[in-house]
């Protein structure tokens, strides 16, 4: 396992995304067996960072993660669990209630990382962070972060958080460089913060990427592994790919063993 180290905290370079586990916008219990099988496989393979949100399957994603972790017997302190608060729950009381709901569904006493999932027009971030700071002080959250924030909002959030902002979780992949172009990547790297790349495989849209195909062949790796290796080779960047397939989960996790040369990284960039 390869880690990104920030202020003494080691976070796996490859984590596990859980969007679609348990349903879409609403819970779908008919897929529980598939979701639990995927989570058990990920735990067995050695994934330790699990990313979820209260909006994933209307909270059912969190319930499935909680069940899979309980049944695994893996110690809570060996895992890094991230969840997110929905943009329509950013008022003080709603923040507290949402966090308590996530803790209950996950069946844990604390979250390692809690993110504001999306910015919302008219949101009152001072009020939101007043609640988030209290949750940290009460021991229910260990680290704070945001998601889909631009540099202006990220800077504002850093000033409001009493314990700093650990990460900005944004879409970032070979095929989607928007948060590199808008300055968020460089900002995170300059401030010693993590950029967490979601949809790091861009739903496979880059599979015909000729440069990636050639580099993958040179390393006897898949194109997906090469795309992930390019991401995690960058300082302050981690990735959270998602898959129900044990084969693909293993492939994603082993992307850290694909060691790209500086020239190959530059070619892909």
The pLDDT tens digits of the residues spanning 248-261 come to 999 999 999 999 99
What integer is the mean pLDDT of 113-137? 97
Task: Look at residue 202 and tell me whether its pLDDT is greater than 80.
Answer: yes
- Asked if residue 256 belongs to a domain, the reply is no
Residue 11: phi, psi to the nearest 5?
Answer: -120, 130
**Kind of pairing between the strands at 113-116 and 144-147:** parallel
Looking at every residue in the chain, the average pLDDT score rounds to 96
d(CA 255, CA 2): 10
Residue 189: per-residue pLDDT? 97
Q: Count the domains in the chain.
A: 1
- Asked if residue 261 belongs to a domain, the reply is no
What integer is the mean pLDDT of 109-125? 97
Classify each residue of 64-80 as buried b or exposed e, where b means 16 or more C-beta atoms within 10 Å of its C-beta.
bbbbbbeeeeeeeeebb
Residue 25: per-residue pLDDT? 87
d(CA 153, CA 255): 32
Q: Are 35 and 244 in contact (CB under 8 A)?
A: yes
Window from 19-33, 54-68, 135-149, 205-219 with minimum mean pLDDT:
205-219
Question: Can you spell out the DSSP letters for 71-104?
Answer: HHT--GGG-EEEEEE-GGG-SHHHHHHHHHHHHH
User: What's the pTM value of the predicted model, to 2 decimals?
Assistant: 0.97
Residue 137: per-residue pLDDT? 98
- Asked if residue 269 belongs to a domain, the reply is no
d(CA 267, CA 165): 31
Residue 110: per-residue pLDDT? 98
- Asked if residue 229 belongs to a domain, the reply is no
- Asked if residue 218 belongs to a domain, the reply is no
pLDDT band of residue 203 (cuts 50, 70, 90) is confident
- Asked if residue 134 belongs to a domain, the reply is yes
Picking from 214, 222, 220, the residue whose alpha carbon sits closest to that of residue 268 is 214
- Asked if residue 139 belongs to a domain, the reply is yes
Q: Which residues belong to the active site?
A: 56
Of all helices (H) and strands (E), which one includes residue 197?
strand 194-198
- Asked if residue 120 belongs to a domain, the reply is yes
Residue 152: per-residue pLDDT? 98
Of all helices (H) and strands (E), which one includes residue 136?
helix 125-137
Which residues constitute the domain of residue 185? Answer: 9-203+236-244
CATH of the domain at 17: 3.20.20.100
Higher pLDDT, 61 or 209: 61
Residue 209: per-residue pLDDT? 82
């Amino acid at each position: 396992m390869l880690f990104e180290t920030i202020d003494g905290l080691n976070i796996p370079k490859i984590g596990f995304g859980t969007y679609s586990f348990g349903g879409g916008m609403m819970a779908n219990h008919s897929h529980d067996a598939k979701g639990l099988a995927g989570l058990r496989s990920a735990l067995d393979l050695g994934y330790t960072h699990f990313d979820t949100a209260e909006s994933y399957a209307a909270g059912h994603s969190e319930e499935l993660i909680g069940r899979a972790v309980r049944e695994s017997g893996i110690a809570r302190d060996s895992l890094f669990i991230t969840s997110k608060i929905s943009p329509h729950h950013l008022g003080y009381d709603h923040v507290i209630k949402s966090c308590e709901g996530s803790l209950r569904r996950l069946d844990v006493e604390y979250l390692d990382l809690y993110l504001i999932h999306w910015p919302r027009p008219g949101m009152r971030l001072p009020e939101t962070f007043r609640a988030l700071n209290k949750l940290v002080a009460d021991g229910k959250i260990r680290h704070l972060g945001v998601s889909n924030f631009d540099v202006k909002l990220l800077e504002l959030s850093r000033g409001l958080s009493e314990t700093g902002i650990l990460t900005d979780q944004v879409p970032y992949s070979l095929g989607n460089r928007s948060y590199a172009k808008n300055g968020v990547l460089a900002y995170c790297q300059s401030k010693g913060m993590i950029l967490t790349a979601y949809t790091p495989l861009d739903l496979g849209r880059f599979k015909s990427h000729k440069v990636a195909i050639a580099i993958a062949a040179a390393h006897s790796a898949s194109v997906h592994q090469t795309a992930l290796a390019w991401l995690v080779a960058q300082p302050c960047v981690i990735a959270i790919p998602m898959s129900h397939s044990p084969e693909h989960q293993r492939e994603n996790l082993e992307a850290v063993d694909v060691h790209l040369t500086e020239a190959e990284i530059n070619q892909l960039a």
